Amino acid sequence: MKMITALVRPSKVDAIKTALVSIEVVGMTVSDVRGFGRQKGQVERYRGNEFTVDFLPKVKITTVVSDDKVDAAIAAIANAARTGEIGDGKIFVTPVETAIRIRTGDSGDAAL
Amino acid sequence: MPRTLSSGKGASVATTFDRFRTKVLAGVQDPQLRRYAFFVMAAGAGLVPLMAGSAKAALAPGVTDGADTMLMLMGSALVLLMTPGLAFFYGGFTRSKNVLNTMMMSFFLMGLIGVLWVVIGYSLAFDGGFKSPFIGGLGAMWLNGVGGELGDAALAPGFNISATSFALFQGMFAIITPALISGALVERVSFKFWFWFCLLWSLFVYSPMAKMVWGGGFLGPFGSVGAIDFAGGTVVHIASGVAALVAAAMIGSRTTWPNNNKPPHNVPFILLGAGLLWFGWFGFNGASMFAAKTAGLPFLTTTTAASAGMLAWCLIEWFKDGKPTAVGAATGAVAGLVGITPGAGFVYMGPAIAIGALTAAACFIAVRIKAAIKFDDSLDTFMVHGVGGTVGALLAGVFAAKALVPADYFPLSAKILEEGGNVGMFIAQLKAVIFSYAFVGIATAIIVAILNAVIGSRVSPEQEDRGLDFVAHGEEAYDPMTN
């Protein structure tokens, strides 16, 4: 069981969701986040005052999948999120000990 | 500002409209029309020397007119809406943790000045009790006697609006003027300071300025200088702009300025506010004609100048920075509106476009200079209202059309225009501008200095960091996580 954390462009969230659902990854959590990587910030100008905005808006998608679906899920996210420009984001994969569905008490892969 | 062309002066109404038609619709100078207009003007102008001493007596007694009074009531509602509009305009520029405090600095004045004006502000501006060219009197406190028992009596000889509608209309101006100052002081002053500052400033700076310019006082067409100010270039915009400059200089920068400054937190608020201001400005300038029949001209010049201001600002940005901005469009429109205010009823369409565009260009340069010298007039109150009001007041002198400055309502100004032409008028305007800068600057400095010594003006740096919405009001506009 692995947790996949993807930091992506906000405009790509819908496409990523559709791609994940199509390979039957049916649960995820999204949050608005800000950050920067190689893209760094952008310069905005208001009434001639220049502002360097260091932290750009991104969306963090978190989902937990069974081991056999990890590669497919990573590929689905990467394909849906890619534009080829700097700022497409990153995917992190971490091991998860277990999972519990609160309503039924199911645990392990059955809870996903 | 005060004037009406429907007081039995049929000739001047006809002149106005014929001149207007020739210029606007035809653009062709029909010789016959021009001769006609010339004769009427000459007849009017010929009377100036005879009337100079007793101009007021020449006006017919005022008879309250329903349409004219309705214009004032509608105009009052429009001008009132400018204050919440300004609150949005300014609120959009600040950080999200200060937006409520910024908006309250404008919005709250509908409470404070709304009462103050009725109790004493109007009297200090428009009562004649002190027999002074600088300040009114105490006879009209609580609007005592204004408009007679039923409130329907006409304002004065030559004015066919009810006195109550005039007092109401002027009150809306009194509310928004100190609200404009807040732009220079946001994100650092205590609300207690702001309360007392507005109260004192309204009584000791605004009311005297209104008296001097519009109340038959020192600066106006019945006074010593003879300047023309249709709807408040000096009283509202130069006064608020200069007060903003002086107060910001005395109170000092925000702790985050200039190195840790943040971009506007809500640009759509800025557009909403600018749109409401533009809408309300129809009342501000248009109803300042005090007569429904002739109000079409200032309505037209007002919106045309705003359009020209927006266009000019965006084109300059496009050329200089590569992109026209939404904030620039809003700012340019407001600059154009500020610029046309002193001349709205005194010029035709060509000058209105020129005034809008030139004012926007001047404000654009001023804003850039401010950014370069790192002066913390936070939301550019002086750079837009001070500079814009000054440019507009001077250009009103340059472009004022004789037919639109009738001698019965503007005896000294009409005389200046007749004898010295637009150069003479420009000089009169310049005198009024310089006097306004000096009077408002000094009076504001005294008020700020006193309040600074007695109650202080700023919140602590820690409170500034926490955000004034919570510190001053115990509220948050949004989820604090998003600050």
HEC per residue, A50-67: EEEECCEEEEEEEEEECH
| Chain B, nearest residue to A44 by Cα | B263
Contact (Cβ atoms closer than 8 angstroms) between residue B314 and residue B333: no
Q: Determine the pLDDT at residue B184.
A: 97
Q: A35 pLDDT exceeds 50?
A: yes
Radius of gyration of chain A (CA): 17
Q: B41 pLDDT exceeds 80?
A: no
Q: Residue B368: which of A46, A48, A53 has the nearest Cβ? A: A48
Q: How far is CA B427 from CA B84, B346, B417, in A?
A: 36, 16, 10
Record: contact B325-A46, CB cut-off 8 A: yes
Fold (topology level) of B56-478: Ammonium transporter fold (1.10.3430)
Q: Determine the pLDDT at residue B53.
A: 39
B248-299 pLDDT, tens digit per residue, is: 999 999 999 888 888 999 999 999 999 999 999 999 999 999 999 999 999 9
Q: Which of A47, A51, A52 has the highest number of chain B CBs within 10 A, making it the mutation to test binding with B?
A: A47
Q: Is A46 helix (H, G, I), strand (E, B) or coil?
A: strand
Strand partners for A30: A61
CA distance B371 to chain A (A): 6
Q: Domain boundaries in chain B?
A: 56-478
Q: Determine the pLDDT at residue B305.
A: 98
- φ, ψ at B61 (rounded to 5°): -60, 140
Residue A37 pLDDT level (bands cut at 50, 70, 90): confident
Q: Determine the pLDDT at residue B482.
A: 52
CATH number at residue A87: 3.30.70.120
Q: How far is CA B188 from CA B163, B248, B254, B265, B311, in A?
A: 40, 10, 6, 17, 33
Q: Determine the pLDDT at residue A42.
A: 82
Q: B193 pLDDT exceeds 60?
A: yes
Structural domain span for residue A6: 2-111
Residue B44 pLDDT level (bands cut at 50, 70, 90): very low
Burial grade of B313 (CB within 10 A; 0-12, 13-18, 19 or more):
buried
Number of other CB atoms surrounding residue B387 within 10 Å: 27
Record: contact A46-B321, CB cut-off 8 A: no
Residue B70 pLDDT level (bands cut at 50, 70, 90): very high
Residue B141 pLDDT level (bands cut at 50, 70, 90): very high
Chain A environment of B327 (Cβ under 8 Å): 46-47
Record: contact A48-B262, CB cut-off 8 A: no
AA letter at B5: L
Residues 6+ apart with CB under 8 A from B455: B190, B192, B193, B196
| Chain A, nearest residue to B329 by Cα | A47
B342-352 pLDDT, tens digit per residue, is: 999 999 999 99
In eight-state DSSP terms, residue A90 is E
Residue B356 vs residue B21, higher pLDDT? B356
Q: Determine the pLDDT at residue B388.
A: 97
A19-39 average pLDDT score: 90
Residue B189 vs residue A46, higher pLDDT? B189
End-to-end CA distance of chain A: 9
Residue B481 pLDDT level (bands cut at 50, 70, 90): low
Q: Is B69 helix (H, G, I), strand (E, B) or coil?
A: helix
A 34-53 near B (Cβ less than 8 A): 44-49, 51, 53
Domain count of the fold of chain A: 1
- Which of B58-62, B176-180, B228-232, B428-432 shows the lowest mean pLDDT across its residues? B58-62
Q: B47 pLDDT exceeds 70?
A: no
Q: Residue B328: which of A44, A47, A51 has the nearest Cβ? A: A47
CB-based contact, A54 to chain B, within 8 Å: no
B79-121 pLDDT, tens digit per residue, is: 999 999 999 999 999 999 999 999 999 999 999 999 999 999 9
Q: B174 pLDDT exceeds 60?
A: yes
Q: Determine the pLDDT at residue A50.
A: 81
Around B334, how many Cα atoms within 13 Å sit in the side-chain half-sphere? 32
| Residue labelled with tokens 């908006």 | B103
CA distance B335 to chain A (A): 13
CA distance A7 to chain B (A): 19
Record: contact A47-B261, CB cut-off 8 A: no
| Residue labelled with tokens 């038609």 | B21
Record: contact A46-B261, CB cut-off 8 A: no
Residue B58 pLDDT level (bands cut at 50, 70, 90): low
Residues 6+ apart with CB under 8 A from B82: B172, B176, B276, B277, B280, B281, B283, B284
Residue B483 vs residue A12, higher pLDDT? A12
Q: Determine the pLDDT at residue B55.
A: 42
B365-371 average pLDDT score: 94
CB-based contact, B96 to chain A, within 8 Å: no
Q: B315 pLDDT exceeds 60?
A: yes
CB pairs under 8 A between A and B: 26
CA distance A87 to chain B (A): 22
Q: B432 pLDDT exceeds 70?
A: yes
B133-157 average pLDDT score: 93
B 297-326 near A (Cβ less than 8 A): 321, 323, 325
Q: Considering only CA atoms, which of B120, B148, B134, B7 is closest in space to residue B65?
A: B7
Q: A65 pLDDT exceeds 50?
A: yes
